[in-house]
Structure 1
Amino acid sequence: MDLLLRLFVGHLIGDFILQTNNIAELKLKNIKYLFAHVVIVFLSLLICTLDYLSFNLIFVLAIISLIHLIDYLKKFTDNFLLFIIDQTIHVVSLILVPAIFGYIDIYLINKYLLAFYTNINLWVYAAGYIFGIFAAKVMIDNLLKNIIKDYEANSISGYIGMIERLIVITLALLNEYTAIGIIFAIKGVARSKFIDNDVKNGEYYFLGTGLSFFSCYFNRAGNKKNY
């Protein structure tokens, strides 16, 4: 597991810290920059695993690094879903490639994953987050459409609300209720000009925020009953 953690850190360094915006753009236009990115990832992985160094491990790191050539597919379509798929492939390769060469016990990893998957707490939290973030957005959108004539269901405010509920639910689960109050205060200051421009804007803001926070409280209460 120590090796797996080191590989993950090496991937983060090579793919996010050492990969500049310039390289990220140029690697889609010029193949030499794509290979430069592969070399950077390889060196990052190598530096993080020096005390495991062997010929076989260098071969493993080379394979993991070469898998980053799939980044070239972003040239044809670059969106968030592709980014998630791309990163998933990279992370999976950090496990599968070393496992094939005997560096990681795949059965032990399978044991941990199975224990995680069958843990009831996972499903309680999953239900809470999905309801609080996604289902709550649909419910609040439908309610506000019936109250506010020009309300736009897919406006940026709706997505801000999703992030807001994600933070609030997480802080509530950690019993950090003071931090929730601070977030509410900061949001009020940030939206003060929006509210000052029109009284209705203030009503819209407090209505949406109130419903958002209520859904988080309802979600937190529901989670408590599952323990």
Structure 2
Amino acid sequence: MILFIKLVLAHLIGDFLLQPNRWVIHKEVNKVTSKYLYVHVLVHFVVTMFLLWDFQYWKLVLAIVISHYFIDLAKLYTNPFFKLRSIPFFMDQALHILVLYICAYSGNLIGQTIFLLEKIDWALLTAIVFVSYPAAIIMGKLLEGMSDRIELDHKSLPGAGKYIGIIERLFVLAFIILGRWEVIGLLITAKSVFRFNDLKDSNSRKLTEYILIGTLLSFGIAIVTGIIYIKF
């Protein structure tokens, strides 16, 4: 486990802390001919070897940086095919972490994977999934009749309300599992403060009631989910 953690730390340092934005731009423009692509790979090799502090790992580190080079190169050439730049970014990071995992547990990869799968709390995973998109869809169906009567605010970011709801339900679920019920009250207060100016400016009782119902319903779903998880 320590080996994997050190490899991940080295990756975070090399990919984020020691990679200036001008390197990223230069790589995107010049791709395989970019000098910073090779400097970036070299930085990863040096940082990883420094953190491991054991020369016997040089073959392992070499395999990691070579794979890092080809993964980065693939991302540079596939970037134009994606409308959202975040998609190739997260795919790139996922592949890097997968390589680190395989290298760290190469001696017992199948056994370690089975061990991790056996440690998964499937009830918790189900609760987390439920309070995200399924709960958002359920709320949309329950509030469908009311939302038709509310004037849309075209200044809002697309889907912002849905994502805010998902994040707040995840926070509520986490606080319930940790037994910190008082923090939920602070979360409701904070949301009310942020919403106060919007409601005051709109001067719409319907909008106020709609947001209040939606907020209570969102928190209620997360609370019930948390209680069910704890009890069963």
TM-score by length of 1: 0.84
CA distance in structure 2 between the partners assigned to 1:221 and 1:186 by the alignment: 23
CA distance in structure 2 between the partners assigned to 1:85 and 1:182 by the alignment: 36
Give the Å deviation of 1:7: 0.3
Aligned to 1:209: 215
Aligned to 2:81: 76
Aligned to 1:92: 98
CA change 1:90–1:58 in 2 (3 A) is closer
CA distance in structure 2 between the partners assigned to 1:52 and 1:178 by the alignment: 51
- Give runs of aligned pairs for residues 120-135 of structure 1, distance below 5 A: 122-135=121-134
SS at match of 1:28: helix
Q: RCO (CA 8 Å, sep 6+): is it higher in 1 or 2?
A: 2
Aligned to 2:180: 176
Retained in 2: the 8 A contact 1:171–1:180? Answer: yes
Give the Å deviation of 1:142: 1.4
Query: Please, which runs of 5 or more residues in structure 2 have no aligned partner?
Result: 153-157
CA change 1:203–1:40 in 2 (3 A) is farther
Q: Deviations over 1:23-66 (max 9, x none)?
A: 33332112313333323333332222123555424423432432
Retained in 1: the 8 A contact 2:173–2:226? Answer: yes
CA change 1:200–1:17 in 2 (3 A) is farther
CA distance in structure 2 between the partners assigned to 1:205 and 1:43 by the alignment: 53
Name whichever of 204-213 and 56-65 sits farther off.
56-65
Aligned to 1:156: 160
Aligned to 1:13: 13
Query: How many residues were matched structurally?
Result: 218
CA change 1:50–1:69 in 2 (3 A) is farther
Q: Deviations over 1:152-190 (max 9, x none)?
A: 7x6311111111111111111111112221121111111
Aligned to 2:28: 28
Q: Which contiguous aligned blocks of 4+ residues in structure 1 show a shift greater than 6 angstroms?
A: none
Aligned to 1:142: 141
TM-score by length of 2: 0.82
CA change 1:52–1:191 in 2 (3 A) is farther
CA distance in structure 2 between the partners assigned to 1:201 and 1:16 by the alignment: 42
Query: Please, which runs of 5 or more residues in structure 1 have no aligned partner?
Result: none
CA change 1:111–1:130 in 2 (3 A) is closer
CA change 1:181–1:26 in 2 (3 A) is farther
Give the Å deviation of 1:136: 0.9
Aligned to 1:40: 43
Q: Deviations over 1:174-227 (max 9, x none)?
A: 11112221121111111111110223332222111111001011111221232x
CA distance in structure 1 between the partners assigned to 2:17 and 2:65 by the alignment: 19
Identity of matched residues, %: 28
1:112 aligns with 2:115: yes
